[in-house]
Chains A and B, each alone.
Chain A
Amino acid sequence: MAFIGVALAIGYLGLAVFAPTLLLAALPVAMGAGCALAASRRSRRRGATLFTVWLAVGLVGAWWWRSHPATGLGWVIAMLFLLPLPIVPWLYAAWFGERS
């Protein structure tokens, strides 16, 4: 757990200063690792994997369409905002009972 925390801290500082574009690529890994860290004392880790894959797909699409005015905006809104909007609270409620 401490290793993940230190890796995230050093990774952010290094990438933000020396390779900011790579920060985007590292984002899903960092968020997934953060979730795994938070879940390390719990029974559920599949949520972290699902989250990482969704975020990676969303960010790859955003990078791909970064110069397409309407498509880029549409992708960001649809994939990164609207799609998870109903799913995440539902998943939390569904898994809450199992964790409790």
Chain B
Amino acid sequence: MTVLVVVLLAAAGLAVWAVGKAREANEYFAAGHRAGPWLAGLAGTAAAVSGFTFVGGPGLFLVAGVGSLWLILSAPFTGALQCWVVGERVVEDRPDRPITVPELLQHQLGGRSVRAVAAVAVLVGCVASLAVQARAAAVLGETFLRLDGWLTAAIVMLAITTYTAAGGMRAGLLADAVQGGVMALVAVGLAGAALAAAGGPLAAIDTLTAKRPELLGAFGSFEPGRAASLYLLFALGPLAQPHYVQKFFFLRRRTDLRQLPAVLTGALAAMLALWFGVGLAGTALQAEGRITVNRPDELAPHVMTLLGPWAVLLAGVAVLAAMMSTAASFLNLAAAAVTRDLPAAAGRASSGVGTARWVTVATAAAATVLGVGSDRAVAWLGIAGWGFFTAALLPVVALGLAWPLCRPAPAAAAIAAGALVDLVLELSRAHLPAAVEPGLAGAAAGALVLVVGSFCSRLAGPTTASLARTARSPRR
């Protein structure tokens, strides 16, 4: 409880510091384009790594073994891939550049429809992804801190909302970068301690080879096709996650991109050490009967309890940092979608930073109710949120921004089709073939709509929007 009180006080202090500095949209939504590669890289990685990684990852290792690692095996190249495919199209050396993903799409493709549909997709996905953080906070309270799940989720979301509503990403960038550094250090330390408690990595592997060999090998308990599908989802998915793309809006100048992948990759690899280390060690400890786990999400908390109070405290801090950094980004993105993108798509002026603060509060409340009320494990909630953004935005971000013939109306239709297919398949996930990931299937459907629609539009002749786009020639 002391940790939560300290976090609340720190959040209040940060809010007081930032509230006067974030009066303009550029400051509130893009941190005034002040970040260099280190700040943007640490903050971006902190926003990317959530409770999903710290609570859900080790739990998924308990269920799927090495199969769970296929979600994170693409980590060595996703930083460079993001900079190459998205960052180099986003970061421009001029002050009036786009500061949200829907705005970027309108800027590059022309037409207000694509901005409107993208804003709705971002809003829905942000609320769903925020629910994952609220759910992880409840798990944190129930298992790490021995507190009521609702109470913990409410306090954590209140703390995040306080500084995010007051200071936007001007406060969020600084908090995220500090949280990212803490998470990286703590993750490596806890992974090492957990593996040491299991007798070292080789002893843990020997234990599992003897008692649960089905979790080892190259794919664990996953079918190779399912592992490949998850690999693809998490290799390409970062291109379409708005909280990943958001870090490019923070950068000062285009040349900052050169060093960004190194910072992103190093920080991410350090944080993912916890997934592998605690997952492997905890599963071995459970196989030996040294810990008893009723639900997968309980694996990490029980390993920390075994290590001692210091580990519980550090893990609690790391999980809190992970949730807060990710949730701050989602809250800010949702506020931008409601107060900036939707009004602009309707041809009206932005609602201003004051309204954005209230939208931030309302979004946090809705996500808390949704997340704590859900009975799905954190890992599967996380995959569902990730898949939604992948389905909705991957075709337009990866293909649409690079393809000169892409038209705005088909791009808007592709976003809607991808999101819809993902939602329908997600609801019937239990009946799907193992290798079908709703997020990827949605993205595939969206890509087909984008290409076919753009060709049909082209046959029908140039549209006003495409002519306007050609005149502006914003592409590089």
A interface residue numbers (CB < 8 A to B): 1-2, 5-6, 8-10, 12-13, 15-17, 19-24, 26-27, 30-31, 34-35, 37-41, 51, 59, 61-63, 65-70, 72-73, 75-77, 80-81, 84-85, 87-93, 96-97, 99-100
Q: Does B17 count as interface, using CB distance less than 8 angstroms?
A: no
- Residue of A10, A15, A16, A100 most packed against chain B (CB within 10 A): A16
Return the 4 tightest CB-CB contacts between A and B, nearest first. Answer: A20-B225, A20-B435, A69-B216, A72-B218
Question: Scoring B residues 436 to 476 as 1 if CB is less than 8 Å from chain A, else 0, what string do you get?
Answer: 11001101110110110011000000000000000000001
- Which of the residues B398, B435, B445 comes within 8 Å of A38, measured between beta carbons? B398
B229: A residues at CB distance < 8 A: 16, 20, 23
Closest to B433 in A: A17
How many A-B pairs have beta carbons closer than 8 Å: the answer is: 177
B interface residue numbers (CB < 8 A to A): 66, 69, 72-73, 75-77, 79-81, 83-85, 88, 205, 208-209, 213, 216-219, 223-229, 231-232, 235-236, 254-255, 257-259, 261-262, 264-266, 269, 276, 395, 398-399, 402-403, 405, 433-437, 440-441, 443-445, 447-448, 450-451, 454-455, 476
- Which of the residues B213, B218, B226, B259 comes within 8 Å of A76, measured between beta carbons? B218
- 14 pairs from A and B in contact (CB 8 Å cutoff): A5-B395, A20-B225, A20-B228, A21-B225, A24-B225, A34-B398, A39-B84, A66-B224, A68-B217, A69-B208, A76-B66, A76-B69, A84-B76, A99-B88
Contact B219 A62 (CB under 8 A): yes
Given the interface pairs A2-B403, A20-B434, the reply to whether A97 lies near B216 with Cβ below 8 Å is no
Contact B216 A9 (CB under 8 A): no
Given the interface pairs A24-B224, A30-B232, A37-B402, the reply to whether A70 lies near B269 with Cβ below 8 Å is no
Given the interface pairs A16-B229, A66-B219, A70-B205, the reply to whether A92 lies near B402 with Cβ below 8 Å is no
Contact B216 A17 (CB under 8 A): no
A100: B residues at CB distance < 8 A: 254-255
A30 to B476, CA, bound (A): 25
Given the interface pairs A31-B235, A88-B261, the reply to whether A73 lies near B225 with Cβ below 8 Å is no
Contact B231 A27 (CB under 8 A): yes
A38 to B81, CA, bound (A): 9
Nearest chain B CB to A31's CB is how many angstroms away? 7
A81: B residues at CB distance < 8 A: 69, 72-73, 75-76
